[in-house]
Structures are given as C-alpha cells and as structure tokens.
Amino acid sequence: MLDLEGFGHLLITGSWLTIKLAIVSLAIGMVFGIIGATAKLSSVWIFNRLATMYTTVMRGIPELLMILFIYFGGTIILNKVLKSFGYTQHIDISPFAAGVAVLAIAFGAYATEVLRMAIQEIPTGQWEAAKAIGMNPIQTFFRIILPQVWALALPGLGNLFLVLIKDTALVSVVGLYDIMYYAKKGGESTAEPFTFYFAAALIYLLITTVVTGAMIFLEKRANPAKQYSLKLKRMSDSHNIASVP
C-alpha cells in the first residue's frame, strides 16, 4: 500500500481538476475539429488554405511550447491590446484557461484530419439524395452526414482523447494544481518522489482505462449493425467447428 503521508486528498483534488481540464478541452476541441474539417473540404479557396495552415502549424509545434507561449506571451499581448483601448488594469491568463486553449486547439487540429477522412468516406450520393428531397447543405450535414461520421471517426477521436488526457500533465509547468503538480509537491516535501509519481501514474492509468471502456461502449452503440454481423460470424464459425467430424 502506498504511503502518501497526507497528500492523498490533494492528489484526488488534482485528479478532478485534470478530468475537468480534459473534458472542457475535448468539448471546445471538437468544435475546432468540425469547423476545420468542413473548411478543408470546402470549395472556397481561402477556407481550405486557412484550415490547412491551422493543422500544419498546430501539429508541428510542441504542446509544451504552446502552453508557455499562451500563458506568458498571451498575457502580454492581451494587456497591450486592452491598454490600447484605455483599460489600464493588469489581467493574467489563468493556467486553466491557458491549458484549455492549447489542448483544445491541438486536439482540434488532429480531430480535423480524423473528421475530414470520415466525411470523405460518406458516399456522395447521400448528398445528392438529400438535395433532391429539398434539404439544404446545412440540414444535410447535421441530419444525414454527421451522425454517420461519428461512427466512422469514433475510434480515432477516442485515441486522440486518450492522448489529450495525458497531455494535461504539461499544464503543471505553469502552476495548474493538477495531478502532476501535487505529485511533484508531495515528492519534494517527503523526499520520496518515486512514490508520488508512481501514484500519479496509477491515477492516469485508471482514468484512461475508464475512458477506454467508455469508448468501446460508444463504438458498439454507434455501429450496432457491425456488432451484429460480428456476432453472426462468430456463431457461424462455432457451428462450422462443431460440424467438423
């Protein structure tokens, strides 16, 4: 049994903050991903180029560097902009806000490509059929295309969310009171860093295991026909094996 010497409740507090950071970043990142995917598939040249630039830049810059830039550089830029409008009080960007911004933008860049490929898997005939019955492009996208895209993109998005959860550890460098922050403090206070980092690893493993189970459940719910066909195949295989003399 790990002896956390009174720091256990702090690790639990940090775990809850990590989960909130991941969920908020996921929600905002999905919006970036949907917008980015539709822009990359757009016939409008400027939208396509902006989306390509977004994914190229965000996937090429380390998240740690982005966190430091937004937390420190973003504060400077924000105060200069506000000062130009006559607002003289100093405003700091919180570590949580900086973390959400970076993780959401980075997640959105990767999700853009996952959603783009999923959308391209939908037969073009469905767009034409929807248009033939009087649906506009927005109605077609949200009522016909997007529900099918989720089933195709869910495995990829699930993997990205697992990466996002682990990337939340980077935000501790700017003072966010997450799992890694309290693990570091506990290790420094007790001179037993291995114990606390091992405890942090177990917490991350527990969170990602729960998320993995949830993703498996959602994948089955999103594509029941596939699960039914797999069940029939297993039954057929079992019958064939049993029939062998």
Please state the domain extents for the chain: 8-243
C-beta of residue 234 within 8 angstroms of C-beta of residue 162 = no
Task: Give the pLDDT confidence of 174-218 residue by residue, as tens digits.
Answer: 889 999 999 999 888 888 888 889 999 999 999 999 999 999 888
Cβ-based neighbours of 62, under 8 Å, separated by 6 or more: none
pLDDT, average across residues 156-181:
93
pLDDT for position 32: 96
pLDDT for position 218: 86
pLDDT band at 227 (very low <50, low <70, confident <90, very high): very low
pLDDT for position 101: 94
pLDDT for position 239: 47
What is the distance between the alpha carbons of residues 221 and 166, in angstroms, rounded to a whole number?
Answer: 26
pLDDT band at 129 (very low <50, low <70, confident <90, very high): confident
What is the third-level CATH fold of 8-243?
Answer: MetI-like fold (1.10.3720)
Long-range CB pairs of 136-144, under 8 A, 24+ apart, other chains included: 141/38
